Amino acid sequence: MITTVIAAILFVFLVGVTLLGRRVSRYLPEDQLSADSRDAVKLAMGFIATMTAVLLGLLITSAKGNFDTEQSEVMQMAAKVAFLNRVLVVYGPEAADARLKLRDAVADGVRRMWPAKRSGPVQSAPNEQVGDAFYVAIHRLSPHDDSQRTLKTEAATLMVELGQLRSLLQAQAIPSVSKLLLIALVSWLVVIFFGFSLVAPPNATTTLALVASAFSVACAVLLILDLDHPFGGLIRIPSEPMINVLNHLAK
C-alpha cells in the first residue's frame, strides 16, 4: 500500500514540475528560448535522461534479482518440506507426532508470510516456539534399525536446511534498493521534466506527452519498490507452493 502512495506522490510531483516549467517559460525573455538555447537544453536533458535510464535499469535489475532469489528460496523450502514429510512417512507410525509438528510449523509460516488480508502485516521472523517443538519431535525419534537411523539422520539434515532457509528469508527482509540511488533518480527526473517543459511547445499534445512520461516513470518506481518487498507488495511471491505442500501434509 505504501509503495502505491509513494508512486502516486511521485506522479503528482512530476506533473506539478511540468506545469511549473510551463509557467516559468512564459516569463523568460525571447532570447532565452531561441533555437540555439532550445538545442542546448535538449542536449543536456538528453544526457541526463540517458543517465536516468541507466540508473532506473540498475534499480529494476537489483529489485528483480532480490525478488527472484527469495522466490527460489520459497520453492526450495516447499520441496524440502515435501521430501521431509516423505522421509517421516517412510520412517513409520512413530514419526506421526513429528509430522504433526511439521504441519503446524508450515501452517504458521504461511500465515505469517502470506496474511489472509493483503494489507495485513508480514511477519518475516519465524515462530521459535513452533520451530522448537518440531526440533524436539525429530530428536525424540528412537530408531530400531539401520534404516530408521538413516531416515532420522536425513530428517535432521533437512530440518536444519529448512531452518537456514527460513533464517535467510528473515535476513533478506530489509530493503535491498539504496535510498540514495532513489533520491538521485527522483532528482534527475525533476530536472528532466522541468527542462523539457521549458523548451517544449506550450500545447496540449506536449503536455499530455510529459504527463504520460511521468506516469510511466512513476509505474517504474512502483515496480522497483514492490519487487523489493516480495511478501508485502502488489507483486508478491506466490504462496501456492507452500499451500500445496501444506494441503499434502494434511492428508
pLDDT, tens digit (0-9, with 9 covering 90-100), for 193-203 = 988 888 777 78
Contact between 88 and 159 under an 8 Å Cβ cutoff? The reply is: no
* Average model confidence (pLDDT) across the chain: 86
- Give the pLDDT of residue 196: 85
pLDDT(32) > 80: no
Least confident of 34-38, 165-169, 183-187: 34-38
For the chain, give the percent of residues with pLDDT over 70.
94
Q: Which residue has the higher pLDDT, 34 or 164?
A: 164
pLDDT for the residue 36: 66
CB-based contact 122:232 (threshold 8 Å) = yes
Reference 18, options 185, 195, 183, 205; nearest CA is: 195
pLDDT recorded at residue 119: 63
Task: Return the residue matching grid coordinates 539401520.
Answer: 146
Q: Is the pLDDT of residue 251 over 70?
A: no
Residue 83 has pLDDT above 90, yes or no: yes
Q: Read off the C-alpha cell for 219.
A: 509505474
Q: What is the dihedral sign for C-alpha 199, 203, 209, 213? A: positive
- Structure confidence at residue 158 (pLDDT): 92
Mutual angle of helices 96-113 and 146-171, in 10-degree steps: 10
